[in-house]
Amino acid sequence: MTETSATEVAGRSAGREGIWSRLAAREGEGYENDLDVSSRIYAPAASGYPAALLIHGSLIPLFYALDRLFLSGFNILSVVLFAACILLNRRGQVVAAFLLASIEICIHAILATLILGVETGFFLFLLIQSSIVILGPMREWRMRVMSCAMFAVLAAILIAYVLIAGPSRPLGVEWTAVFLAGNMLATTFILALMLRVYDRAVTTAEAGLKVEHDRSEALLDNIMPPKVSMRLKAGEEPIADSHAQVTVLFADIVGFTERSATMPPEQLLKLLNAAFTRFDRLVEARGLEKIKTIGDAYMVVGGIPEARDDHAQAVAGLALEMIDACEEVGREMGDPLSVRVGINSGPVVAGVIGEKKLAYDLWGDVVNTASRMESHGEPGRVQITEATRALLEGAYSFERRKAVEIKGKGVMTTYFLRAAK
């Protein structure tokens, strides 16, 4: 069974919803009113306040029997205060309950020490309060440290005063020893509870950090080549590389813009996701790198981030498989689907851009020409440039097109890729 976080324990103990939202509503009042407050305060308080109520309630008849009526009466007030703490805690007013309990502990420790003497050990609760304040709601760590010091100094002054002036109504040796033993046990228990709360909080935080770290690592590896993401994690900046010979592919779903005007959004997305998911598997199987999707366009490169001699052959094989895969998706979904593919080869620059939404991208004339090969191609066919054809010579057959006017490039000789030889 996995260990439950302190926050989850708190939530279940309360049996109420909206506690954390009520805490959040108090933000800006100088307190750390968030889930961290609940982890530090709520869980131990949920059991600590009822225990304190029972203990103070049992002291009422005891002090009455010992003829310490003032302390007996003060314990009646303590019972009322801790009952209020329980109620406030359950209503999500964690900070108010914590402060009320802290006030009671301090006053009770001071009065009991002044009346019964240092030997009874009631001053220990000031030292406990000095430690408990670390759990408190103050935002700044230095304020917590100063509060700890304040309670420690207060305890020292109290002890010195009582040792010099003497207690007002000390007890006999037997009852002094009983109270000392009881207060020492209570101190040990409270400190152990605090250590347990912090140990659980640290363990839970470490586990959560590991999950988030692994998730962010996986996400980064998913949006860019692993070797590039490793360089990014190592702090390398900027990341920009020149690649002398790669092959770039652009694919575009035919007629997708028209479909988007008439097809329900859910069905449109399902169709596109089915095709692109199939493309992703084919890209991974051939060891190529998917760069990005732009609407219904899909971009892939071979030879990046690591150079490979067969980058053109791998991309050409992928292109033919993408055409078949697109047709299969259309048949499976009962909606004819075809893709238009363009390929070009040559030098590019690759790198990471952006500060928040990082992107690994390619730049260069080769990229622009590959995009033009797609946009000036035909449905269900792969159009390639002369540069790519030269790299595929002997491995594939081609169909030469008539001279084509390519936007921004002028007249070019291009080819349709046919089956492998």
- Segments making up each domain of the chain, as ranges: 6-214, 226-420
Of 9 and 59, the one with more pLDDT: 59
CA distance 94 to 45: 9
Q: Which CATH superfamily is domain 226-420 in?
A: Nucleotide cyclase, GGDEF domain (3.30.70.1230)
pLDDT (tens digit per residue) in 108-119: 999 999 999 999
Region 223-244: mean pLDDT is 79
Contacts of 94 (CB under 8 A, 6+ apart): 19, 23, 37, 38, 41, 42, 45, 88, 137
CA distance 37 to 43: 10
Instruction: Rounding to the nearest 10 degrees, give the CA dihedral for residues 38, 39, 40, 46.
Output: 70
Given a contact cutoff of 8 angstroms between Cβ atoms, the answer to whether 419 and 317 are in contact is no
Tokens representing 150 are 């304040």
Given a contact cutoff of 8 angstroms between Cβ atoms, the answer to whether 248 and 289 are in contact is no
Tell me, what's the pLDDT at 19? 39
In terms of Cα–Cα distance, which of 92, 93, 98, 150 is closest to 126?
150
pLDDT (tens digit per residue) in 156-207: 898 899 999 999 999 999 999 999 999 999 888 888 877 777 777 778 878 8
CA distance 22 to 25: 5
Given a contact cutoff of 8 angstroms between Cβ atoms, the answer to whether 91 and 82 are in contact is no
Of 367 and 226, the one with more pLDDT: 367
Other residues' Cβ atoms within 10 Å of the Cβ of residue 52: 23
Q: Burial of 401 by CB count in 10 Å (0-12 exposed, 13-18 middle, 19+ buried)? A: middle
Give the chain's largest Cα–Cα span. Answer: 114
Given a contact cutoff of 8 angstroms between Cβ atoms, the answer to whether 32 and 137 are in contact is yes
Map residue 302 onto helix, strand or coil: strand
Hey, which residues does 298 pair with through a beta bridge? 251, 293
pLDDT (tens digit per residue) in 29-62: 433 444 455 556 676 777 888 989 999 999 999 9
Region 277-303: mean pLDDT is 93
Give the lowest-confidence range in 135-139, 299-303, 306-310.
135-139
Hey, which residues does 399 pair with through a beta bridge? 416
pLDDT band at 140 (very low <50, low <70, confident <90, very high): low
CA distance 224 to 290: 8
Question: Helix %, strand %, coil % for the chain, to 5?
Answer: 60, 15, 20
